[in-house]
Amino acid sequence: MSTMTPPPPGIYVPSVLFFDENENFDIPSIKAHVLRLAQGGVTGILVQGSNGEAQHLSHDERKEAIRITKQTLDENGFQKVVIIAGTGGQSTRETKKLCVDAAEAGAAFCLVLTPSVWPPQMMPANILRFYREVADASPIPTMVYNFPVVTAGLDLTSDIIYELAQHPNIVGTKLSCGNIGKLHRLTSSVPSSKFATFPGVSDVFLQGLVSGSAGVIGALPNIAPKAHAELYRLYKAGKMEDAARIQALLGHADWELTKMGSIGGIKAACSKYFGYGTPIVRGPLSAVDFENAAAGKLKELIVFEKSL
């Protein structure tokens, strides 16, 4: 891919990683999950998104997770499924290294989180410089990851992201702020052929599409990839009422998953309903008891997923 090409539109999932009782990689379960996502129709897999516990992994483990994902896709005939790697570090230097590591391990794009150890120092000038220096150094195209919940409240404005979109090696953004006004300002001011704008949450998947988004990069497709693919199909076919019905279910289920703790909830759901993995997360996170935590809509979504 040229440095000017954003990832293709569609459904991307920040996949969870599975661990054994010693918190080491459970490789068979990781592979089973990647395969179910690919078979469920996702366009791409984000390795080391916030759901991939990137901050809890060593550099070697981060490379290994990308390699396992790519190997699983290649072995099963899913070479066209796009791999994006989360490469955010707390320094520019580390972030550049993680981008090189990601490229070496087989990722096609990098998704870069804003450093947040020193929020008062992260003025717009420093944010712009950070992303531009990383994009200059990265061997693969980069994307801007805006997620205030995990960056000490730092919330990039549409003005900052628009500025960054002018860089030839910055080709998209994930907006986990879920701000549709921001998304629409970006889609209406930067051509989609140059810059892909994705909401980072499923509860605004359809709303984002209406506002010109490139699809979604969200946690919920870990549980229900086919349901997201079905909504996308209905939207493209112009069946808005049917799409909106699925969107309502996704919105309720996404909220329930957020309240239970997305990462633990996803692992618990996969273990219970899809037959692989354990609910183990790396501390300080804690495992989730799906039965006690899950409300009705998440279970309703799983029933719908299995019907597709």
Q: Find the mean pLDDT for residues 51-65.
A: 96
The residues with which 38 forms a beta bridge, in sequence order, are: none
What pLDDT is stored for residue 4 in this prediction? 80
Please tell me whether the peptide bond between 284 and the residue prior to it is cis, using omega within 30 degrees of 0: yes
Tell me how far apart the terminal alpha carbons of the chain are, to the nearest angstrom: 33
Shortest CA distance to 49 belongs to which of 41, 37, 57? Answer: 57
Which residues lie closer than 8 Å to 43 by C-beta, 6 or more apart? 7, 8, 9, 10, 11, 12, 81, 82, 215
Lowest model confidence (mean pLDDT) among 85-94, 186-195, 255-264, 284-293: 284-293
Neighbours of 131 (CB within 10 A): 26
What is the Cα–Cα distance from 229 to 152, expressed in whole angstroms?
33
The CATH-assigned architecture of domain 10-237 is: Alpha-Beta Barrel (3.20)
Confidence band (pLDDT; 50, 70, 90) for 114? Answer: very high
Confidence band (pLDDT; 50, 70, 90) for 1? Answer: very low
Would you put residue 23 in left (φ > 0), alpha (ψ -120 to 50) or beta? left
**pLDDT greater than 50 at residue 2:** no
The residues with which 46 forms a beta bridge, in sequence order, are: 14, 84
The reported pTM is: 0.97
Shortest CA distance to 279 belongs to which of 28, 29, 10, 11? Answer: 29
**pLDDT greater than 50 at residue 58:** yes
**Positive or negative: CA dihedral 262, 263, 268, 270:** positive
Q: Which of the residues are catalytic? A: 145, 174
